[in-house]
Each structure stands twice: as C-alpha cells, then as structure tokens.
Chains A and B, each alone.
Chain A
Amino acid sequence: MARHRVLVMVSYKPSARDPEGETLAGELRRLGYTWILGARAGKAFVFEVEAGSREEAARLVEEMARETRLYNPAVHSLLVIPLA
C-alpha cells in the first residue's frame, strides 16, 4: 500500500448554465484570448489516498464521491484524475 494523490473536479453538466464559467470565458475573449471557446467553473479537491496503485486510488475516490454525493449527479459532472 502506498500514498497516492487523486484530483477531483466537480463542475456543472453541459445542460446546466454556469454563470461563473460563462463570465470568465466572455471576459477573457474580450481581453483578446479569442481562441477560448468556453469555460466551466467548478470545485477541485486533491485527496491523499492509501491504495495499492494509482488506478485503485482513482477508483476508491470515485466510489466515495458517488456514495457521499460529493457531487450531485443531477447537475454535476465528475472528473477524477490520479496524480501520482
């Protein structure tokens, strides 16, 4: 067993309006970053996890996020990225 780090990002599904992301993208385009087509804002967490492998760490965190409703599947999408 080893220590792993897993990044979790909770953001809105494309079907839900996201004023923060929309405003950020609009303002950045106005500043000249016209190659930005859109942005989604959300909340990011880095979990420190004890697990046998990166893949297991990511799976454990994703299960936890589902069970605890760390995200609300009605409106949120979940991104889980094992870091190390």
Chain B
Amino acid sequence: MPRVAVVKFPGTNCDEETAYMLREVAGVEAHVVWHTEYSWRSWDATVVPGGFSYGDYGRAGLLASWSPAAEQLREAAAAGSPILGICNGFQVLVEAGILPGALLPNESGRFIARWTRVRVHAPRGPWLLAAEEGMVLEMPIAHAEGRYYHPDPGSLLRDRPWLEYLENPNGSVANIAGLGSQDGAVLGLMPHPERAAHPLQTPRGRGTGGRVLFESIGAALRRGW
C-alpha cells in the first residue's frame, strides 16, 4: 500500500483529519510525521497540512521554512515526489521557495472562514488526476494570510495547473486559490480539501469538493500519473 507522510510542525492542527481522509478516501497508508523526523525518501508522497506552524510568528510559514523538513521538501520537489500543501502548508511551500509568489494578509484585514467555490484549470499531476478542466470544487477556507500575490500572474499561470476562486474572498491576484508546479507533482492551495471530503462535513447545498484530490492521489500512487 502506498505510504504518505503528513508533516507536523509545532502549531500544525489539521494533521489528523488530513491523515484520516488519506486513509478513508485515498486508500493509502498515512502517518503524521514530526517535522524533525521527516525524510522524504521514506514516503511515496507528502502532505503539509493546515494550522498555524510556529504560531505564524514573523509570517505564516516563515519559521517552518527554517526547519530541516523544508530542505527535505525542496529535495522531494526536485526529485518529482508528490507534495500537497494545504492552507498553512501552502504558505510553508511558498516560504520555502518550492512554489513561487507570496501569501499576504487578506485584503479585508480579517481572518475569513467560509465556503468557497474554485474552478480547476489545466489539471495534471497526481493531485488532480481525477479532476477535469473547468470542474468547480466546493471547499471551505479558514485563513488570515491567504491573498496570493505574484508580480506576473499571466505568465505564471500559462503552463501549470491552478485553482481559481469563483468569488474571490481575500483579494488574491488573478483569483488564485491554489497552484501547482509545472508538472503538477507539487500543489498548494488555501482551501481545505480534508474538510470537504465526506458528506457529513458539508452543509446542505455544498459539495464534497476536496474528495477529488484524495481520490486522485490514491489512484496516482497505485497506477501512476
């Protein structure tokens, strides 16, 4: 059975539900791994889950990017090993230089927790294997620093998978909710797929938009992508 690491930093708080959905929906073996113990070669894929690593001191994701796990993640990304960063995990991947750009405080100046809809563009790679172009996914967000910024979003988005907010909640440039590496092996997103992967988690009228990411990684690790 494929083995997936869920990397935990001090202050990470979405690790257990992320591991749960990896087991239940992706059908893989998932373990929560303390950041100092994490070695990418021991795993078939890695998820950096949500939370508040190091209390968001300095900037969200900054201190986690100083952890030895960040060097492991950079090596894993360079080797093409699948990495998913959710919310704070996306912030960590950006601060570690694995994904481009920056995540700034929300335009409203507030913490925002609500359901969003995102459209899938150019799906490819192990995390979006089962997704289709133009598919709309419903997932909740919960963040204070989720306003994606890049100086040249036009050329950035030309050749990589990305997710677009239908209703931009935080002022992200080009409505970017998440984006991948060019081959899609690395994906970062602000919405929480692990909070929208089972009907029991969704309020009336909302869909299980996160499910496709877990189904994708399960299928990808079993059959390739």
Contact = CB atoms under 8 A, between A and B. Distances in A.
Interface string B54-69: 1101100001001000
B196 to A, nearest CB: 32
B63 A27 contact: yes
A23 B63 contact: yes
Contacts of A27: 54, 63, 66
B186 to A, nearest CB: 24
A20 B66 contact: no
Interface residues of B, number: 6
B120 to A, nearest CB: 37
A28 B66 CA distance: 8
B160 to A, nearest CB: 31
Contacts of B54: 23, 27
A19 interface: yes
A65 interface: no
Interface in B37-81: 54-55, 57-58, 63, 66
Nearest to B58: A24
B58 A31 contact: no
Contacts of B66: 27-28, 31
B100 to A, nearest CB: 23
Contacts of B58: 20, 24, 41
Interface of A: 19-20, 23-24, 27-28, 31, 41
Interface of B: 54-55, 57-58, 63, 66
Q: Nearest 4 A-B pairs (CB), nearest first?
A: A20-B57, A23-B57, A27-B66, A27-B63
